Amino acid sequence: MEKKSEIKSKVVQTYAEDMAKVIEDNKNGLIKKIIYEEEKHETEKINFSPESKKNRLFMLLGFLFILISLATLFFFFFKKDVSVVPIEKQFTPLIFNDKSAFIEVKGLKKDEIIQTVFNGVGKTEVKEGGLEGIYLTEDKKVIGLRRFLAITKSNFQPKVDPLLGDVFVEDNFLMGVVNGGVRSVSPTGKDFFILIKVRSLVDAFDAMRAWEGKMFFDLNEFFGIITSPETKYLLTKGFEDGVVENKNARILYGNGGEIMMMYIFANDNSIIVTNTKSAGKEIMLRLASSQIKK
């Protein structure tokens, strides 16, 4: 009996030791886990703390971005003088052109401009009866009538209504060539013209009559007529009343009765300067066509 009791006592003692060991191991593991979690928590507190240099930098940058955003918002909200980019005015052909040519004239002298235009008239490739519009440009911008008169030193002076300030002659004009073919009296068969738009013929009549004394001098070379001992009489010869396609006109005749230059009152708002009836007829047809389309 004593032996059995001793054996049982030893077994109980061994079991109790094992249990104590397990509890001790779990205790050590739990403590380690608690310590690890606490250290992790402390690390997170440091990372998210406002006292951290890194977090202070982020906060400062965020604050600066907010200030910049608010300043930009107030600038656009309270700014009254808003700058508007001007829309460049697009030129509109006065009549239908079969072809358009653009000639850059910035920096060119009057003689160079005239020669360039005259060369363009002779080289036009429009078919017979066709019309090519010629536009002079400076820095790729189409110039108006007043700029054209200035750079060619013309004597034409469009008047202005002294009361209303309205111009009698519009700045929009057309210069070009009609391929007259066999109908043309010019050696090349190409007829130069200028189409001028006015407020009314009554308003523009006096200005055109005043230009007659210098019109041939201003424009003769555009038509390929060179001043010589044989043609210098045209500088002082007067224009005469005439009719072209049932429209009133003022015509400068040569000694042989040929038309050297004329301007036609094509309609209530259009004056054609040319030297052939065929060119005048073609332009008037296109003017009438454009009015019907409108």
**Model confidence pLDDT, tens digit, residues 166-190:** 578 899 999 999 998 877 777 778 9
pLDDT of residue 83: 43
Share of the chain above pLDDT 90, in %: 51
213, part of any domain: yes
Beta-carbon-side half-sphere exposure of residue 264 (alpha carbons within 13 Å): 24
Verify that 161 and 60 share a domain, yes or no: no
Band of the pLDDT at 106, cuts 50, 70, 90? very high
Q: Among 49, 78, 107, which residue terminates a domain?
A: 78
Q: Residue 234 contacts by C-beta under 8 Å, 6 or more apart in sequence?
A: 216, 220, 225, 252, 254, 260, 261
pLDDT of residue 126: 92
Q: Does residue 111 have a pLDDT over 60?
A: yes
Share of the chain above pLDDT 70, in %: 70
Verify that 70 and 205 share a domain, yes or no: no
Verify that 128 and 43 share a domain, yes or no: no
85, part of any domain: no
Q: What burial class does residue 170 get, using C-beta atoms within 10 Å of its C-beta: 0-12 exposed, 13-18 middle, 19+ buried?
A: middle
Verify that 32 and 139 share a domain, yes or no: no
Q: Does residue 281 have a pLDDT over 50?
A: yes
The residue-averaged pLDDT of 131-136 equals: 95
* pLDDT digit string, tens, across residues 52-95: 566 667 677 777 778 787 777 766 666 544 444 444 445 578 89
pLDDT of residue 73: 72
94, part of any domain: no
Q: Does residue 147 have a pLDDT over 60?
A: yes
Q: How many domains does the chain have?
A: 2
Verify that 246 and 157 share a domain, yes or no: yes
Q: Among 23, 45, 78, which residue terminates a domain?
A: 78
Q: Does residue 8 have a pLDDT over 70?
A: no
197, part of any domain: yes
Verify that 133 and 205 share a domain, yes or no: yes
Verify that 138 and 220 share a domain, yes or no: yes
Q: Among 78, 110, 126, which residue terminates a domain?
A: 78
244, part of any domain: yes
pLDDT of residue 88: 44
pLDDT of residue 82: 41
Verify that 74 and 110 share a domain, yes or no: no
Verify that 243 and 214 share a domain, yes or no: yes
pLDDT of residue 174: 95
pLDDT of residue 85: 40
The residue-averaged pLDDT of 156-167 equals: 71
56, part of any domain: yes
Interior CA angle at 269 toward 264 and 274, to 5°?
A: 25
Q: Which two tokens stand for residue 246?
A: 């049932």
93, part of any domain: no
* pLDDT digit string, tens, across residues 203-259: 889 899 999 999 999 999 999 998 899 999 999 999 999 999 999 999 999 999 999
Q: Does residue 9 have a pLDDT over 90?
A: no
Helix axes 2-48, 53-78, angle to 10 degrees: 40
Bigger pLDDT: 48 or 252?
252
Domain range for residue 55?
A: 2-78
119, part of any domain: yes
Verify that 62 and 117 share a domain, yes or no: no
Verify that 122 and 206 share a domain, yes or no: yes
Q: How far is CA 266 from CA 95, 96, 167, 239, 280, in A?
A: 13, 16, 19, 17, 8
Instruction: Give the closest residue to 110 by CA, choosing from 263, 231, 219.
Output: 219
CA separation for the pair 263, 274 (Å, rounded): 6
Verify that 125 and 247 share a domain, yes or no: yes
